[in-house]
Chain A
Amino acid sequence: MTTTETRSAEADSEKFVPRPRTISKAEGWRRRGPLLPAMVFAIVVTQIPFLFTLYYSTQSWNLVRPGSREFNWLNNYVDVFRDSQFREVALNTVIMIVGTVIISVILGLFLALLLDRKFIGRSLIRTLLITPFLITPVAGALIWKTTMFDPVFGLINFVLSPFGVDQIDWVSRYPLPAVMANLIWQWTPFMMLLILAGLQSMPKDISEAARVDGAGPFKLFRELTLPHLRRFIELGAVLGAIYLVNTFDAVYMMTSGGPGVASANLPFYIYQRAFLGFDIGQAAAMGVVTVVATIIVSTLALRLIFKSFSGNEEAA
């Protein structure tokens, strides 16, 4: 603890790192030098397309009707909000993200608790458990759609057949839950890894002391473990949500958003509008709406992540 404090601004800045306010102009540029290529690259590749999206969103522009391109104010946005399919898709997106995050966190917590004990083959089991997160999502979705969920030859129906489940066509009858099952399978390992890192960073002497004081395992979990894990669970949920907003592979491979738009999420619906409907203006407007919605979540996320870097920021 004390070492971290001495390694703060003073100690650093005297010798190797001068205090920011004493930096000369030349030194300032020498410091900025290594940063600039990355900054320029990131701005050009990630920000400029988005400015174009903003611009396109004010255009009536369909690739199928050449020459039809014209400025149409905010009409695309009006259309987007009038589009009942868009509202359904937006709701699907929220259900997909929130449902997947909650279930993955619960399962991940359970698995992390199982792995936070010594047992024979622990590292093997951990390795097996993270595999669903590593596997190419397209491959995972393909496997779930076919060998897992197939009504006749699928493993899920085979496993459930003793319980009276008979040849259910999961993907067409429950498209959204089927996609989510695939996503939960993929994201539970992610939550597990984060929560496990939290469990392993827990000071053991406190729980030892509490146990000696006669606290039962349940009480111990609720009053010590869970509060300690809170930060890790929050971080996992927020990061999971950020990654899940971009879910495309699973929808594309398993259901193509169907039937109708029953299992479509925003990325898939925008993709459909742009690349199957060729409606550039509308697709761009939807993209802008998605971004605005995401910014709300992101702001929360950023605050959390900065908080997680405890101490480092004040010194910098």
Chain B
Amino acid sequence: MSTATTNKKAVPQTSDGVAIKRKSKWGPGTIWSFVAWVAGITFFFPVLWMVLTGFKQEADAYSDPPKLFFTPTLDQYRGVLESGIGTTLLNSAFATVVSTLLVLLLGVPAAFALSLRPVKKTKDVLFFFISTKMLPVVAAIVPLYVIVGDIGMLDNIWTLVILYTAMNLPIAVWMMRSFFLEVPSELLEAASMDGASLWTSVREVILPLVSPGIAATSLICVIFSWNEFFFAVNLTAVQAQTIPVYLVGFITGQGLYWAQLSAAATFAALPVVLAGWFAQNKLVRGLSFGAIK
């Protein structure tokens, strides 16, 4: 009975033609919901399996058929934490947080200058920013390696901070611009007629309005910096090693230790997965450079 009521309520909102004709409890709608569940779980399964394998003993990890049920152990997670993942986690956190702050420091004012009080040639500047994102990074790695080596900055976390800032700056500029453009101009007019200075209206009117945008932009930058591998693997070694580079160690050894590897991969992925889950409503906007709201 209650199922029928919810179904009826759902009908106006659905955009597929099948729903309206649905009568029985086991109509096509139920089938598609089931398919959606299966698809969701299938896509998620490798991640779930990674987390689970991290709770196994190595003997349980290598079993044919694979074991879904086993006696869980914290040995692997503990082992990974004791094997020096801490330093790399700190390096990753430092590069991520500092570069994200720098991106905001540079990107938010730039986005302002490209939206609410636009400079001349706004379009060209926007074009420039996005074009830097379209240059394949591999084209810059050779000189970067040589230059960074010449100034003695190889294996230095600040090198990654600077590169990650440059990598995320275009996304931040475009994304923040799309938030600035949503600020109703009536509000700004009212503020300026009340005699508010530009700085006051920025601080009291604009910033509060775009703060969700700043949060979303930060999360996107966090995801990209944390996951970055190419610069990290080529420009760092021991001191400034970040978490993705740390994971490489698990494929170069003689034998593979799946349980331990899975535990390490879980540690590596956890922060960004959580960040992404929180930011999921703004994810599209960041990934499409603000083009899709």
Taking beta carbons and an 8 Å cutoff, which residues of A are in contact with B? 7, 11-12, 15-17, 20, 23, 28, 31-35, 37-39, 41-42, 45-47, 49-50, 52-53, 56, 110-111, 113-122, 124-140, 142-148, 152-153, 155, 158, 185, 188-190, 193-194, 196-199, 201-202, 204, 207, 211, 215-217, 220-221, 225, 232, 235, 239, 242, 245-246, 248-249, 252-253, 266-267, 270-271, 274-275, 280, 283-284, 287-288, 290-291, 294-295, 297-298, 301-302, 305-306, 308-309, 312-313, 316
Given A245-B136, A309-B290, 13 further pairs, Cβ under 8 A: A15-B189, A28-B119, A117-B19, A117-B32, A127-B280, A129-B40, A136-B268, A140-B46, A142-B247, A142-B261, A194-B288, A308-B288, A309-B178
Docked-complex contact B136 and A119, CB < 8 angstroms: no
Determine whether the beta carbon of B138 is less than 8 Å from that of A147.
no
* Chain A residues, Cβ within 8 Å of B290: 309
Interface centre among B29, B120, B133, B143 (most CB of A within 10 A): B143
The segment out of B59-67, B77-85, B208-216 that lies at the interface is B59-67
Give Cα A143–Cα B233 distance, bound, in whole angstroms.
19
Who on chain A is nearest to B283 by CB?
A193
- Interchain nearest-CB distance for A151 vs B (Å): 10
Q: How far is the CA of A291 from the CA of B137 in the complex (A)?
A: 9
Whether the Cβ atoms of B251 and A145 lie closer than 8 Å is yes
Question: How far, in whole Å, are A160 and B266 apart by their CA atoms in the complex?
Answer: 26
B289 adjacent to chain A (CB < 8 Å): yes
Are B269's CB and A249's CB within 8 A? no
B163: Cβ under 8 A from any A Cβ: yes
Taking Cβ atoms with an 8 Å cutoff, the residues of B that contact A are 10, 12-20, 29, 32-33, 35-37, 39-41, 43-47, 49-50, 53, 61-66, 106-107, 109-110, 112-120, 122-123, 125, 127-147, 162-163, 165-166, 169-170, 173, 178, 181, 184-185, 188-189, 192-193, 223, 226-227, 229-230, 233-234, 243-244, 247-248, 250-251, 256, 258, 261-262, 265-266, 268-269, 272-273, 275-277, 280, 283-284, 287-293
On chain B, the residues within 8 Å of A232 by CB distance are 292
Residues of B within 8 A of A235 (CB): 288, 291-292
Q: For residue B130, which residue of chain A has the nearest CB?
A: A302
Contacts A38-B169, A129-B39 given: A136-B272 contact, CB under 8 Å?
Answer: yes
Residues of B within 8 A of A142 (CB): 247, 250-251, 261, 265
Do A305 and B130 touch across chains, with their CB atoms under 8 A apart? Answer: yes
How far, in angstroms, from A20 to B39 measured CA to CA in the complex?
52
3 A-B pairs with least C-beta separation: A34-B109, A52-B143, A217-B17
A31-B119, A117-B33, A130-B283 known; A135 vs B273 contact (CB < 8 Å): yes
A131's contact among B64, B125, B251, B273, by CB below 8 Å, is which? B273
- Distance to closest chain B CB from A55 (angstroms): 8
Question: Once the chains bind, are A31 and B141 in contact (CB under 8 Å)?
Answer: no
A-B CB contact pairs (8 Å), 12 listed = A34-B110, A42-B128, A113-B16, A117-B14, A152-B64, A155-B66, A190-B287, A199-B15, A271-B230, A302-B127, A302-B130, A316-B115
A42-B129, A139-B247 known; A53+B39 contact, CB < 8 A: no
Which residues from B are CB-within-8-Å of A280? 142, 146
